[in-house]
Chains A and B, each alone.
Chain A
Amino acid sequence: MDLDLIMRTTQFLGEAALMTLALTAGSLVLGILAAGAIVVARLSRWTAVRALVAAYVSVMRGTPLLVQLFVLYFGGPQIGLTLSPFAAGVVTFGLNIAAYMSEGLRGAILSVDKGQTEAARTLGFGRLATMFHFILPQCAALMIRSLGVNAVILIKGTALISTIGVVDLTYSAQRIMTSSSQPFEVFGIAAAYYMLIVFGLTRIMRLAERRFALPDEARA
């Protein structure tokens, strides 16, 4: 164990962790927004719209994330879409995780008993108001839980951005490794940072989940 190396690496990777954090935050915001849009489209009354987003979700879930990143970053300029490596990462990771998130959100909505919709519509509420006043309040906690699971997957997936030269945790760790040739310590510290980010995010999500859970006395 080289204590000096560990100290230096911890400090150096701390900055890289901020990059990973920024990448995660950007992708997460984009991902949640896109997931919301996908869910709305999947519940649409137009068959063509539903089919289109269903196809989108299958493609995003059926191809490797790394390939998606390369298609956008390397292939983008060919069709006039030149993005910085960071932006390409945010867009790829965000749109990819959105596909998974949308499935979780949709599942949460479908988990609410059909009778709830019938009761709300019978009172005279429209589709949107029914969703807003009756369905979402009943499945919000479940939605947040599934978003949390996907957010963790997203954090780990951001490591792929190291392949296109963004100085994130994984990329920095590789650089230090080549100069120090002590990969065990270096990647161990990188892994600890990932864990820390995952832990922090999980805590936030759990708080949010509790905030939106039904009161105890409302549960059967």
Chain B
Amino acid sequence: MMTPMVELKGLRKVFGRLEVLRGIDMSVDKGQILSLIGPSGSGKSTLLRSVNLLETPTGGEVWLDGTRVNADLKGLAYERHVNGLRREMQMVFQQFNLFPHLTVMQNLTIGPMKLLGLSKAEAEARGEELLCKVGLAEKALAYPARLSGGQKQRVAIARALAMRPKVMLFDEVTSALDPELVDEVNAVMKDLAAEHITMLIVTHEMRFAAEVTDWAVFMDEGMVVEEGPPDRLFSDPEHPRTRSFLRKHLGA
């Protein structure tokens, strides 16, 4: 049997007295494109942020391609372990989080140069290729402040891809965008899906999830309620909570 690319075993996360994740088991194969849906506060963003340890899990295990991510290490050894593994799973944020003091090209090259040891020329070649891919080659020398929201998000995706990650994590990447800018970002993600890059996508857009992803997971109150291929899950949900959620969101 193939090792899953991402695997969660009994993942728990507690903030103070609030249990946000209550024992999640999940497995994502290489090349699989998985969407996480559910009402706000259901824990889907926390789940995504636990995969690359932006949130430290309270309990359970996170595995990436056969390596335990939240390894049982202390102090500096743990830091080093996590820093190394994070390079292999890149995240795209709702708020873009581009580096405003760097040009678009520098946003793309700083990681590969400082962390992967690429030369400036190599990193820029990779950067140019990716900017072409997201349709922003002419913006290489611009600063993020001069870009629209949709352009910013496409740069953020390119920045993540520049690290050549094994997994891409998307955290509601179109939620902060004006409606007319959503499509350009979705188009880029569809291209990636066609290349079968492993992706975990937290989204509110059911139509997009149905069209692009090959597995959908519905979460509520920190638990996986129901999962399956999106066309099955969306057209014929078994659980009443899934049904009521989808009734609200598919209608829109």
Per-residue interface assignment for chain A, residues 98 to 124, with 1 indicating a CB less than 8 Å from any chain B CB and 0 otherwise: 000000000000000101101111111
Per-residue interface assignment for chain A, residues 108 to 152, with 1 indicating a CB less than 8 Å from any chain B CB and 0 otherwise: 000001011011111111110100011001100000000000000
Known contacts A215-B143, A218-B145, A220-B145: A123-B97 contact under CB 8 Å? no
Count of B residues near A, CB < 8 Å?
A: 29
User: Roughly how many angstroms separate A113 CA and B83 CA in the complex, as a whole number?
Assistant: 21
Known contacts A137-B101, A138-B100, A138-B101: A115-B114 contact under CB 8 Å? no
- B111 is an interface residue with CB less than 8 A from chain A: yes
CB-based contact B111/A123 at 8 Å: yes
Near A by CB (< 8 A), chain B positions 67-91 give: 79-80, 83-84, 86-87, 90-91
Known contacts A115-B93, A116-B99: A125-B146 contact under CB 8 Å? no
CB-based contact B100/A214 at 8 Å: yes
Name the CB-closest residue of A to B103: A218
CB-based contact A124/B101 at 8 Å: no
CB-based contact A124/B97 at 8 Å: no
- B35 is an interface residue with CB less than 8 A from chain A: no
- A2 is an interface residue with CB less than 8 A from chain B: no
CB-based contact B93/A119 at 8 Å: yes
State how many angstroms separate the Cβ of B56 from the closest Cβ of chain A: 12
Residues of B within 8 A of A126 (CB): 79-80, 83
- A217 is an interface residue with CB less than 8 A from chain B: yes
- B52 is an interface residue with CB less than 8 A from chain A: yes
User: Roughly how many angstroms separate A120 CA and B142 CA in the complex, as a whole number?
Assistant: 20
CB-based contact A217/B93 at 8 Å: no
- B115 is an interface residue with CB less than 8 A from chain A: yes
* A-side interface mostly: helix
CB-based contact B90/A214 at 8 Å: no
Residues of B within 8 A of A127 (CB): 79
Residues of A within 8 A of B146 (CB): 217
State how many angstroms separate the Cβ of A122 from the closest Cβ of chain B: 5
Which residue from B84, B95, B145, B159 sits with its C-beta under 8 Å from A115?
B95
CB-based contact B100/A122 at 8 Å: no
User: Roughly how many angstroms separate A42 CA and B115 CA in the complex, as a whole number?
Assistant: 27
CB-based contact B143/A123 at 8 Å: no
Name the CB-closest residue of A to B76: A126
Residues of B within 8 A of A214 (CB): 100-101
CB-based contact B101/A122 at 8 Å: no
- B177 is an interface residue with CB less than 8 A from chain A: no
Name the CB-closest residue of B to A136: B101
- B110 is an interface residue with CB less than 8 A from chain A: yes
State how many angstroms separate the Cβ of A24 from the closest Cβ of chain B: 32
Residues of B within 8 A of A218 (CB): 100-101, 143-145
User: Roughly how many angstroms separate A116 CA and B146 CA in the complex, as a whole number?
Assistant: 18
- B54 is an interface residue with CB less than 8 A from chain A: yes
**Which of A125, A129, A137 is the most central at the interface, judged by chain B CB atoms within 10 Å of its CB?**
A125
User: Roughly how many angstroms separate A116 CA and B98 CA in the complex, as a whole number?
Assistant: 7
Can you add 8 more A-B contacts, CB < 8 Å, to A126-B79, A220-B145? A113-B97, A118-B93, A119-B99, A123-B87, A125-B115, A133-B114, A214-B100, A217-B143
User: 13 A-B residue contacts at CB 8 Å?
Assistant: A115-B97, A119-B97, A119-B99, A121-B54, A122-B52, A123-B87, A125-B83, A133-B110, A134-B99, A214-B101, A217-B142, A217-B143, A218-B145
